[in-house]
Structures are given as structure tokens and as C-alpha cells.
Amino acid sequence: MMPLQLEVLRQLDLVEPTETGRPHFLAAASGLVSVGDYLYIVADDENHLGIFSRSQPAPGRLLRLLDGDLPDEPKQRKAHKPDFEALTVLPAFGDYPKGALFALGSGSKKRRCRGVLLGLAADGSINTEPLIIDLEPLYSELAKHFADLNIEGVFINQYLNLLQRGNKAADNHNACVRLDLQKSLKALVQNQALSGELLINIQPHAISEVQGVPLCFTDAVALPDGSWLFSAAAEATDNSYADGDLVAAALGVINAQGDLVYLTVLDNRYKIEGIAAQVEGNQLHLLLVTDADDPNQAAVLLSTTLSGYPF
């Protein structure tokens, strides 16, 4: 099968760097949400949220999510980063009448167990200060089910769904973790934390292998028919901490019954780590962001279209 064609729309360049001496771009884009004209992007090696215009090519600006600066040296930065890997929009609840952005750390290390809530206005702009969410109680429970916890995606349907990213290790598989949505929203308001009591079930998912390397979840977005679209990467690593060579990238769809109903390969120059989708008839218009695992290479915003929906 020929790889799906991807169009490069722009680099994720910034008005100013996240810290003095850092480049004027996001390098490790790992979560994407499109709301109105706003594109919100988290990068797994930053304490900031990137804010870009969908319609204008101007450089993006930054919103600080966490206090403090991160070390610039790559190994030290990796050890100290919050690892925000997942981003979604929560529906209206509590003090957030127009919904809220929710960013989540991966849980792959102790310092990666924080989330951040940001309220949204009617036009999609952010209108609250960041609220830190403690994910450690939830992630401690999930760690009992996974040998190497690594939450890489989040999406909303009737559940709050977290995507566990597997790897080459025999005991590390992809899974969709379903949490009770309404109870989760209540917990965010009352406790500013999520706990294991919210867990409904865990659905394992084996996608495919490329050259003996499994395709593993990197992000997902819910679709109107109850299915969900995911991005995946086949990365030659056997743990959640170390990066590996990118063997392949893909997009797929899992239906409401949990069955894989669509899978297509992508140009493997790009490791897709964030996706947004707009449905028009039988087409899905997609925006995608990348992580090159290279702090000196700017992440890019891509677009593509999938035909044949619902699959």
C-alpha cells in the first residue's frame, strides 16, 4: 500500500523561546487540539502550551503551564520534563461552562504524573489560569495493570479514555483505559485529582507490526459514529523512557465495538504524536503534529484527508 500523502502546512515556530537560549520553535509536539481558530499544542519537553492560529501563519505564542525552567542539556531535560503527551477538550462542567483543555503527563516516571486544566471561552480562547491536577492516584492504580505505564493519548466520548502506548517488550501492549466521565469531571472540581476508583475497564489493542516492531498508540480523537481515530508509531524501543528509531507511522480507526476497521501507513519521516479531525460527509480532514526526537529540529503541522468514513 502506498503511504498516505501528507501536506506540510508550517513549522511550529514561536514568537519567543520557552526559555533563554532555547530555539524559537516547538520540537517535540505531542498533543493537538483545534478549537475555533485556535490550535493548542503540548510538547513533551516543555512547561508551556503552544498557541497557534489555524487561519494565520504568524508564529505561535506560549502559555506557561508549570512554574520553573527545565535544564537545557538533553539528558537532564529528559529526566526533569513533565512529559505532557496528551491533550483534549473536556465538555462543560463546574466552573468551566464552555469546557476546558486538559493536558496529561505520561505517568512513565514519578514527575510525569501531573495534569493541567485550562478553561475555555465561547470563541475557544483560554480564560482561566492553569489548574494543576494530581494524576498520581490514578496512575498508581494503572501501574498495577501495565508493566511500563505510558499514557500517550486522551479522547472523550461517553468515557474519559486514556491510551496506553505499548512498545517492543513482550509484556507491554497498547490499551484503551476507560474512566467514568461524569465522575472524573466531578473529581477534577472537588479534588483536583483523578483516582483509580474512576476506572471502568481496560481494553487491550494489538494493531500490527512492521519489520517485527509493533505499531503503538501516540494519540487519538473521537469520531461522531462512536469510533475513534488514532495515530501510531512503530519505534524500536522496549521501554517508555528511551526513544528508538522510527520504523513506521500509521493512522487507524477502531469502531465502537473495539474492532480495528481501518489502518493506513504514513510517510515515516514523520512521527505523528497529535491529531485533530473534522468530519465533512464521508471525509475526515486531519491536522497532525510531529515529534522528531531531535531538539534542534522544529515540529511541523501537517494535513491530510481520509475518505470512506464511516469505516
What is the DSSP track for 198-256? Answer: GEEEEEEE---EETTEE-EEEEEEE-TTS-EEEEEEEES-SSSSS---EEEEEEEEE-T
Residue that has been written with the C-alpha cell 505510558 in this structure:
150
Q: Is the residue at 2 inside a domain?
A: no
Q: Is the residue at 104 inside a domain?
A: yes
Q: Are 214 and 166 in contact (CB under 8 A)?
A: yes
pTM over 0.85: yes
Q: Is the residue at 1 inside a domain?
A: no
Q: Is the residue at 41 inside a domain?
A: yes
* Number of domains making up the chain: 1
Number of H helices, E strands in the chain: 3, 22
Selection from 85, 148, 87 nearest residue 112 by Cα: 85
Res. 3 pLDDT band, cuts 50 70 90: low
How buried is 262 (Cβ within 10 angstroms: 0-12 exposed, 13-18 middle, 19+ buried)? Answer: middle
Q: What is the pLDDT of residues 132-171, one digit of tens each?
A: 999 999 999 999 999 899 999 999 999 999 999 988 776 6
242 vs 276 pLDDT, higher one: 276
Helix residue spans in the chain (DSSP H):
74-80, 136-142, 181-190
pLDDT higher than 80, residue 185 = yes
Q: Is the residue at 277 inside a domain?
A: yes
Q: What is the pLDDT of residues 199-231, one digit of tens each?
A: 999 999 999 998 889 999 999 999 999 999 999
**How many angstroms from the chain centroid is the CA of residue 54?**
18
pLDDT higher than 70, residue 120 = yes
Q: Is the residue at 275 inside a domain?
A: yes
Q: Mean pLDDT, to the nearest integer, of 109-113?
A: 95
Q: Is the residue at 134 inside a domain?
A: yes
**Per-residue buried b or exposed e for 92-108, using 16+ beta carbons within 10 Å of the residue's own CB:** ebeebebbbbbbbbbbb
Q: Tell me, what's the pLDDT at 5?
A: 87
Q: Is the residue at 204 inside a domain?
A: yes
Question: What are the residues whose beta carbons fall under 8 Å from the beta carbon of 207, sequence distance 6 or more?
Answer: 174, 214, 215, 216, 217, 232, 250, 252, 260, 263
pLDDT higher than 70, residue 240 = no
Three-state DSSP class for 153? Answer: strand
d(CA 208, CA 260): 10
Three-state DSSP class for 33? Answer: strand
User: Which CATH number fits the domain that encloses residue 96?
Assistant: 2.115.10.20
Q: Quote the domain boundaries for residue 298.
A: 7-307
d(CA 173, CA 301): 28
Three-state DSSP class for 28? Answer: strand
pLDDT mean across residues, the chain: 94
